[in-house]
Amino acid sequence: MALDHAADGIRVNALLLGPTLTSATTAAHAAELGRKSPLGELHTPKDGAEAALFLASDGARLITGVLLPLDGGRSLPSW
């Protein structure tokens, strides 16, 4: 899609969200999931919103075709 729409000035990117810390997440579950992340914590809805806002901003005007993991490193191959 990124290649199909680049000539129209349309950028196509995706956020790949890992487990999210919300008010419904119990402390024990958050701790367990955090231990499974190289960075040791879960992202929050605010983290996801900030990443999306960045990709929609002029600061990311030359970024297209990117799959951006927001998962604390869980998707790293060596992990």
DSSP, res 43:
B
Provide, rounded to the nearest whole percent, the portion of the chain with pLDDT above 90. Answer: 71
Burial of 69 (0-12, 13-18, 19+ CB in 10 A): middle
Q: Rounded to two decimals, what is the model's pTM?
A: 0.85
Answer whether residue 79 shows pLDDT above 70. Answer: no
Distances (CA, A) of 14 to 10, 28, 46: 13, 30, 16
Using DSSP, state whether 60 is helix, strand or coil.
Answer: helix
Average pLDDT over the chain, rounded to whole? 93
Banded model confidence at residue 51, pLDDT cuts 50, 70, 90: very high
